[in-house]
């Protein structure tokens, strides 16, 4: 672990971590917003990822939505990386109080983190839009549960929707408020793997009034000048506790 970061962690009692796509890309989960992700979406579907992952597209082109979603957002073979494992260890030690993530892959929980605020939901959770019946990710990936490529509820026949926040949809209010409370109580906030340009999640930084703000990202962010420590490197490498 970076020595400057280690010193800040050693002197902290209430750390909150806020992470974005860069945390997951180190587990070989591609960022659909990247240049290659944009290119692949345009080439195959003639549309942008943002359009295909919007609420209105889900409603009007449900079959195409699921074709794109299953092939580009679900990576069941992905495993937690060094950053996920380091955060879980810090939580176990009582240093880290919460993980706030923009990712939807469930890898923080898989690594052992317990107090995780998933701002954009999770691909691991799915529910029937009509009766509310819950389904895991394996259910919607099984073609035998689908009609015309669309997962259907075995109880009522309704469409099964992923519990992810699509474009045009509001973030879950309880999740957002929990994340804000955790940030307000923190003495140290570590932000990693995000360019801090996707709102409203990026606006969470304004609720932090603690002692140390740390930014870990390969590229510069608009908030670098406000941070006590900026590290432009791989978050797995920086957070590595091994």
Annotated catalytic residues are 120
User: Token digits for 149?
Assistant: 């490529």
In angstroms, rounded to a whole number, what is the distance separating the alpha carbons of residues 201 and 18? Answer: 9
Q: Does residue 200 have a cis peptide bond before it, meaning omega lies within 30 degrees of 0?
A: yes
Q: Are 32 and 73 in contact (CB under 8 A)?
A: yes
Token pair 């495993």 in the structure block, residue = 79
């Amino acid at each position: 672990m970076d020595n400057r970061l280690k010193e800040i962690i050693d002197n902290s009692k209430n750390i909150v971590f806020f992470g974005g796509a860069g945390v997951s890309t180190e587990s070989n989960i591609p960022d659909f917003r990247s240049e290659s992700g944009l290119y692949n979406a345009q080439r195959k579907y003639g549309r942008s990822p943002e359009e295909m992952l919007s609420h209105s597209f889900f409603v009007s082109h449900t079959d195409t939505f699921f074709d794109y979603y299953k092939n580009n957002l679900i990576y069941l073979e992905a495993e937690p990386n060094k950053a996920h494992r380091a955060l879980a260890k810090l939580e176990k030690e009582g240093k880290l109080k919460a993980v706030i993530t923009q990712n939807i892959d469930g890898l923080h929980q898989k690594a052992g983190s317990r107090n995780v605020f998933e701002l954009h939901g999770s691909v691991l959770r799915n529910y029937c839009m009509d009766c509310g019946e819950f389904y895991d990710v394996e259910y919607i990936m099984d073609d035998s549960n689908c009609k015309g490529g669309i997962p259907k509820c075995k109880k009522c026949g309704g469409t099964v929707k992923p519990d992810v926040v699509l474009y045009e949809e509001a973030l879950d209010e309880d999740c957002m408020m929990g994340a804000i409370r955790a940030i307000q109580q923190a003495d140290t906030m570590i932000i990693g793997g995000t360019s801090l340009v996707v709102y409203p999640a990026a606006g969470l930084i304004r609720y932090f009034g603690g002692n140390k703000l740390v930014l870990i990202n390969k590229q510069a962010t608009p908030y670098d000048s406000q941070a006590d420590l900026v590290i432009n490197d791989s978050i797995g490498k920086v957070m590595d506790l091994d």
